Amino acid sequence: PRTDGATQSDNGLDIRGLRKHYGTFAAVDDIDLTIPEGSFFALLGPSGCGKTTTLRLVAGLEEPTAGEIRIGGADIAHLRPHQRPVNTVFQSYALFPHMTIFENVAFGLRRRKEKNIDARVGEMLELVEMQHLAKRRPTQLSGGQQQRIAVIRALVNKPKVLLLDEPLGALDLKLRRQLQLELKRIQTEVGITFVHVTHDQEEAMTMADTIAVLNKGRVEQIGAPVDLYENPRTAFVAGFLGQSNLLSVHVTSRDATTVVLDFHGVRLTMPAARLSATGTAVEAGVRPEKISMAELGHAPAGTNTIDGQIIDASFIGVSTQYVVQSLADPEEELTVFSQNSSTELRRVGDRVSVHWHPDHTFGLHEGA
């Protein structure tokens, strides 16, 4: 029974205290996840962080060292893979080459001697608009088409949870972008819980309702893409999801709404709700695209302002990336992204006041 007050939805996936050790190495190190029914959930992290192992534990392809895996409240951790109400889509499509597309999709249904096979396969082919290719064989399809078939083949018997292990990893960038949107649409239409493993932060942000960022076998942070991006709680999450400037600061005062910070004698403020660390030495961050630049001394009132000098400017088409060295401490540098449409270009050597709205400041969970 749960003690945290959360309610378990009908077919949600609930993981508690999951561990997988190889010898003394913990590939999965005490993971808890609550994945609501019908959500699109991404496991995101760098190579080796344990995301594939987590997925394989849910699929039953690995035996956990410890922990519970529940779907709809029932513990499935010790069921055999085919007894679990889950299916998996792998990066390699693994279609049967000697069968037609229709038979590939029908395969699982035939094996279980199910009824209405024609209608159910037809419905799935329609979902990906591939009815007209039903008689072809896998080698006569493009990579993107084969992966669509692999997805509907895994959905046709209506698993409670679909596991996707880097399913778009073998496709080129343009096709990957297209299939990201398509997978998202399919998930919305069928309403089945998707758990998607990827190391690509843009892919996770595009597709998922909720992302769990994994690092060294542990969950660093869980949240909606915007929450993770706007309010990363660790340096790892801040750095893995985009770029950020992290500043070592001291807390000078705090009340219910605002924290006042000191950065080399410069006063900065941030919302109290965005700083959970309790000590005086903390780390605060701001995304490069949230920062603007003004002539030295001309930053708008009420902003967090740091005076500096541009030491690098890289034109990257839609924007320019500047590196600004703080006048107060030359060891401190800030990266600033400026949209080229909205700002005049500035040059290396220019003295500027960089500024941002206090609300765009985030605080890291652990102290500096």
Tell me which residues touch ligand ATP (CB under 6 A).
22, 27, 45, 47-53, 199
CB of 344 to ligand ATP, least distance (A): 43
Which residue(s) pair with 248 in the sheet?
Answer: 283
CB of 249 to ligand ATP, least distance (A): 33
106: helix, coil or strand?
helix
| Chain residue at closest Cβ approach to ligand ATP | 52
Place of tokens 């890289």: 314
Judged by beta carbon, residue 55 or residue 205, the one nearer ligand ATP is 55
- Token pair listed for 68: 């519970």
Judged by beta carbon, residue 33 or residue 149, the one nearer ligand ATP is 33
CA gap 212, 35 in Å, rounded: 10
Judged by beta carbon, residue 48 or residue 108, the one nearer ligand ATP is 48
Say which amino acid occupies 138. Answer: P
User: Is the Cβ–Cβ distance between 292 and 306 less than 8 Å?
Assistant: no
CA gap 356, 288 in Å, rounded: 10
Helix (H) or strand (E) holding 249: strand 245-254
CB of 97 to ligand ATP, least distance (A): 25
CB of 159 to ligand ATP, least distance (A): 21
Judged by beta carbon, residue 52 or residue 104, the one nearer ligand ATP is 52
Nearest alpha carbon to residue 153 among 92, 94, 85, 83: 94
CB of 260 to ligand ATP, least distance (A): 40
How many CB atoms are located within 10 Å of the residue 302 CB? 10
Judged by beta carbon, residue 51 or residue 196, the one nearer ligand ATP is 51
